[in-house]
Structure formats: structure tokens, C-alpha cells
């Protein structure tokens, strides 16, 4: 039996990064955000990117969403250029700040993705905005304006907005970074519930060890100076059905393991 | 006292106290009416000259309103062009700035030479005086979008037209209305100044005539009328803003 061809592997992966790097032009020499990152995400997988500030994790996320172009290596989303996936509306993005339009109500904000771009011409099935609002637990607040909501609620709305196009890939850039820890834990619980329900591929950027340990099926640890991938840790064998109790020993072990990888990178930087 | 009544109470008390002070000063220092009339005398003059005042208010109001509409429309269109073309902005924005340094009173004779003693020249003066503040505010308003809002539009594959109408334009509304508040009062100033240079009718004409004829009460009455016109326009702008920009966080 022949070995599976590289092309098949590329086609089957939701996201495939091969020796990807991003450098920004600057007067003296290019400013390298990160380089040599190779990583794959299977359809429906929950991948977490964790690393200290300045390791390029947000930049990496933006190359997958075609908000930035990689300057080296190749990024493939469902076997194609990220631009193709973006224009086909297969990608949604959740930003660090909720980025809701303040003149639109919750319902109008969630409807926005179906009203702009080429949505009607994509022929993709949408989800009902009302159902997405219920899914994120905001039933009854459809007609509220963003300034009438709490930070956590606003971020829920932005998740509902991201899901309304039924995306194949959901990119999340430290979405709960500005929230208090209790709210963050609760939203993490709900995010996993939503992920199970909608079955989309998620790439989630964070700098919180416990968030990474709790959410990820696969955790990619990145280091800084220069921005690079340190290690990819597969947690599927240790988290049945990607569920874990925050007070369990396993959770503690995973968190410590992630911390060790990060600390080693800090040690390198000090040398 | 209700909240809105309380909002009105203090300004009314303030204005009334100033009027009382004025009346007292005129009476106490025995100031002659042709030098400075008392508030009571001014109110009397408004009533006596009501038909002359209304007759002259019409043209001024028309000039101010038309100038307001024209100047602000041109400003919004220019701002739209400038945010979409950096080249045109680099070429023509400095020209607009230079044009804005010309005193409006110096511009009036030029326009009268071109358009004659018509309403057109007055409307253009009123328009020019509105244009610059609105242009600057609108450019700022259109650019008041955050990087993540632009990224959001990009991830949704929105085109430039959608970015403009769904993001930049609503974003700019608070900026537009603060510009319109300024323009509502300056457009009246523009109309009156242009009437000084040459006109048959208007509050500006009345101000010049009553000054030269030492009809000081009529002068004051004319000033009150122009002020009322500007206040009415200001109030209308504030009302429209209140009705449209409901989402603005106080």
C-alpha cells in the first residue's frame, strides 16, 4: 500500500502551516515576528496557541485568517490559500475586544456578517441569529445595545456573531483576556459546550496556562526572541472527550508541563 | 423638581440675573438710550418694529439655511473623497486650509463682484464659513474606526462601499453633529456679514442702518433676532442628533 500522498494530507487538514514566518519591513533590517512554524489542525480540532507577549501568536493567527500574509513558508486552509477561505466566508474571527458596532443592537450586530461581503453569493447555509444569541446564553437581550452589556456579555455577542455564518474555522485572539478569572472560567466552560455543539475547528490564542490546559486538544507553545514554535503537546489521550476537571491532578500536571516548556524558553532568552 | 426642569432652571436663572444687572446698570448710571438701551426698552423695540424685523429676518434665515445646507454637504462630500484618496487629500487639503485663512469679511466683496448683490453671494459666504469645521470633523469621524473594526470588515470580505456605509459613516455621526452645531451659529454670522457688504434687505442691513441712524433700540432688537435665528438652528440640530444618535454612550 502506498504511503498517503502529501497532497491528501494537505487536503484533509483544516489548517496546515509549513515553515511559516512573518517579518515586517523596517528601515535597517526586517523585524521578524516569528519564523519556522509548522503546525496542523484537523477539521473540528480545538488548537490553542500559547506563549508570552511578543512571540507572534496573534500574528500567526492573522496569517491563517488572511488578515496578514506570511512572508515565508506556506499557509493552507482546506488545501488552499487563506484568502480563498476568507472570501468563501469559511473563517470567523473573535477579537480581544468584542468589536461590536455601538449603534447596532445585539441582534443587529449578530446579523451583520449575513448583510455584508458576498454572503448571499457564497450559497453557504447560515445559522439563525436568534438561535446563536440563545446559544451564547443571551436570550432576551436581543434588543440591548452594547453599552448596556457587561464585558463578558459583549464577548458572548461577538462569539454569536462569529458563529452565525456557520464557519469551518473559528479564530479567537485572546477573547477572554480582559475578563476577570471567574467570568473567564465560565466562558471557557461555555465555549467548550458551544464547540461540541457546532463542531467547528477552533484556533485559540491565549497567554494563560490554565486556559490553554482547559481548552486545548492540542496546545502549541511558542517562545519569544525570536518568535518560534517550542513544542506541540497533544492532550487528547489525557482528556477524554476534551473534558477535564480544573481541580484534578491531570489538570495540574498539564498546567505544570506547559509552564516548564515556557520557562525553558525564558531561560534560553536570558543566556 | 424633575431632572429636565432642573436642567433648564440654572441657565434661565443665569441669563435672567444678567438681564437684571443690565437693567439696573442702565437705570443707575442714567445711560442714554441711544448709547445703550435697557432690556425692557429692547423688548419694547422688538414689539414696535415687529413687521420690519420679520420682513428682514426672512432673507437672512434663507441665506443662513441655504448656506448651512450647501457648505455642510460640500464638506461631507470632500471628506468622503479625501479619506478614499490619499493623493487627492495631499493635493487639495492644504489648499482648503489656505483658503480658510482668508478672512470671511475680505471674501465678501470678491463674491459680490462675481455674483452681484444677489442672494447667491450671501449663500456662498454662509456656506464657506460652515465648510472648514465640518470638513475637519468629518475626516476625523471617518477615521475614528479601530484596527479591529477594519479587520472585522475584512474577515467578512466587506467591500469599500460597505466599510464606508456600515462602519465609517455611522462612526462619524457624533463628529458630524458637533460640526453641525458649530455651523448652525456660524452660518448666521456668515449671512449677516455678507449683508453688511451690500444687500437690499436682511438683519445685517438693518444692523448697519440702525447704527448710522442712531436707532440704538432697533440695533439691539436686530441683534436679538439674529441670535434667536442662530439659537433656533442650534436647537434643531441638537434635536435631530438626539433622535438619530440614540446609541451614543453618555
Question: Looking at this predicted complex, what is its ipTM?
Answer: 0.91
Chain B residues closer than 8 Å to A96 by CB: 148
Which contacts of B17-21 are long-range, i.e. CB under 8 A and separated by 24 or more positions?
A: none
pLDDT at B196: 87
Residue A216 sits at the chain B interface (C-beta within 8 Å): no
Mean pLDDT of A118-122: 88
Query: Among partner residues B151, B158, B247, which is closest to A67 by beta-carbon distance?
Result: B151
Q: Which of B147, B148, B151, B157 should be substituted to probe chain A, the one whose Cβ sees the most A Cβ atoms within 10 Å?
A: B157
User: What distance in Å separates the CA atoms of residue B35 and residue B94, rounded to the nearest whole number?
Assistant: 45
Q: Cell digits for B232? A: 433656533
Q: Cell digits for A252? A: 495540574
Mean pLDDT of B94-109: 89
Using the beta-carbon criterion (under 8 Å), do A116 and B249 form an inter-chain contact? no
Closest by Cα among B202, B66, B186 to B124: B66
> Which residue has cell 440563545?
A134
Beta strands in chain B (DSSP E): none
**What DSSP assignment string belongs to A91-136?**
EEEE-SS----TTS-HHHHHHHHHHSTTHHHH-PPP--HHHHHHHT
Q: Which of B156, B163, B170, B241 should be substituted to probe chain A, the one whose Cβ sees the most A Cβ atoms within 10 Å?
A: B156
Helix H or strand E segment including A39: strand A31-41
pLDDT at A202: 97
**Angle between helices B169-197 and B50-84 in degrees, nearest 10:** 140
Residue B250 has pLDDT above 50, yes or no: no
* pLDDT tens column, B64-83: 999 999 999 999 999 999 99
Bridge partner list, A228? A223
pLDDT band at B18; cut points 50, 70, 90: very high
Q: Which of B145, B153, B155, B248 should be substituted to probe chain A, the one whose Cβ sees the most A Cβ atoms within 10 Å?
A: B155
Q: From the CA of A229, how many Å to the nearest CA of chain B?
A: 25
Helix H or strand E segment including B201: none
pLDDT at A13: 86
**Residue-averaged pLDDT of chain A:** 91
User: What distance in Å separates the CA atoms of residue B38 and residue B20, rounded to the nearest whole number?
Assistant: 9
Query: Among partner residues A102, A116, A145, which is closest to B156 by beta-carbon distance?
Result: A116
Mean pLDDT of A163-179: 94
Q: At A213, give phi and psi (nearest 5°).
A: -65, -35
Q: Cell digits for A211? A: 486556559
Q: At A221, give phi and psi (nearest 5°).
A: -95, 125
Q: From the CA of A103, how many Å to the nearest CA of chain B?
A: 5
Closest by Cα among A19, A8, A7, A53 to A225: A53
Amino acid at each position: 500500500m502506498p504511503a498517503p500522498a502529501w497532497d491528501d494530507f494537505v487536503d484533509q487538514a483544516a489548517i496546515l502551516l509549513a515553515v511559516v514566518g512573518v517579518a515586517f519591513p523596517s528601515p535597517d533590517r526586517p523585524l521578524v515576528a516569528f519564523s519556522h512554524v509548522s503546525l496542523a489542525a484537523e477539521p473540528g480540532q480545538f488548537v490553542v496557541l500559547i506563549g508570552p507577549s511578543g512571540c507572534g501568536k496573534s500574528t500567526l493567527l492573522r496569517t491563517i485568517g488572511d488578515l496578514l500574509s506570511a512572508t515565508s513558508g506556506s499557509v493552507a486552509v482546506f488545501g488552499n490559500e487563506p484568502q480563498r477561505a476568507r472570501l468563501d466566508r469559511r473563517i470567523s474571527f473573535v477579537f480581544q475586544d468584542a468589536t461590536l458596532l455601538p449603534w447596532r443592537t445585539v441582534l443587529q450586530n449578530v446579523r451583520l456578517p449575513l448583510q455584508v461581503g458576498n454572503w448571499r453569493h457564497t450559497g453557504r447555509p447560515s445559522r439563525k441569529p436568534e438561535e446563536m444569541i440563545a446559544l451564547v446564553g443571551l436570550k432576551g437581550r436581543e434588543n440591548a445595545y452594547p453599552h448596556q452589556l457587561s464585558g463578558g456579555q459583549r464577548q458572548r455577542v461577538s462569539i454569536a456573531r462569529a458563529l452565525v455564518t456557520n464557519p469551518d474555522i473559528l479564530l479567537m485572539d485572546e477573547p477572554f483576556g480582559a475578563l476577570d478569572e471567574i467570568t473567564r472560567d465560565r466562558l471557557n466552560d461555555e465555549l467548550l459546550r458551544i464547540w461540541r455543539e457546532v463542531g467547528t475547528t477552533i484556533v485559540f490564542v491565549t497567554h494563560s496556562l490554565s486556559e490553554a490546559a482547559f481548552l486545548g486538544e492540542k496546545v502549541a507553545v511558542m517562545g519569544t526572541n525570536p518568535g518560534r514554535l517550542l513544542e506541540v503537546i497533544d492532550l487528547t489521550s489525557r482528556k477524554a472527550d476534551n473534558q477535564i476537571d480544573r481541580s484534578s491532578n491531570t489538570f495540574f500536571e498539564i498546567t505544570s508541563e506547559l509552564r516548564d516548556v515556557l520557562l525553558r524558553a525564558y531561560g534560553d532568552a536570558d543566556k | 423638581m424633575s431632572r429636565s426642569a432642573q436642567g433648564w432652571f440654572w441657565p434661565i436663572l443665569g441669563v435672567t440675573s444678567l438681564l437684571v444687572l443690565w437693567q439696573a446698570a442702565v437705570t443707575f448710571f442714567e445711560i442714554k438710550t441711544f448709547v445703550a438701551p435697557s432690556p425692557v426698552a429692547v423688548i419694547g423695540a422688538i414689539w414696535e418694529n415687529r413687521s420690519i424685523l420679520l420682513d428682514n429676518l426672512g432673507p437672512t434665515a434663507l441665506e443662513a439655511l441655504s448656506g448651512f445646507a450647501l457648505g455642510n454637504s460640500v464638506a461631507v462630500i470632500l471628506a468622503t473623497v479625501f479619506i478614499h484618496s490619499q493623493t487627492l487629500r495631499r493635493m487639495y487639503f492644504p489648499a482648503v486650509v489656505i483658503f480658510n485663512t482668508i478672512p470671511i469679511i475680505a471674501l465678501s466683496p470678491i463674491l459680490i463682484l462675481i455674483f452681484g448683490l444677489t442672494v447667491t453671494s450671501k449663500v456662498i459666504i454662509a456656506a464657506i464659513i460652515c465648510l472648514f469645521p465640518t470638513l475637519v470633523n468629518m475626516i476625523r469621524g471617518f477615521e475614528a474606526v479601530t484596527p479591529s473594526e477594519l479587520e472585522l470588515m475584512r474577515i467578512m470580505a466587506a467591500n469599500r462601499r460597505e466599510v464606508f456605509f456600515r462602519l465609517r459613516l455611522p462612526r462619524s455621526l457624533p463628529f458630524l453633529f458637533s460640526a453641525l452645531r458649530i455651523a448652525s451659529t456660524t452660518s448666521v454670522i456668515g449671512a449677516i456679514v455678507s449683508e453688511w457688504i451690500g444687500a437690499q434687505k436682511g438683519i445685517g442691513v438693518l444692523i448697519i442702518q440702525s447704527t448710522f441712524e442712531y436707532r440704538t433700540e432697533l440695533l439691539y432688537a436686530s441683534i436679538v433676532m439674529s441670535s434667536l435665528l442662530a439659537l433656533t438652528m442650534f436647537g434643531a440640530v441638537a434635536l435631530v442628533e438626539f433622535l438619530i444618535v440614540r446609541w451614543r454612550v453618555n
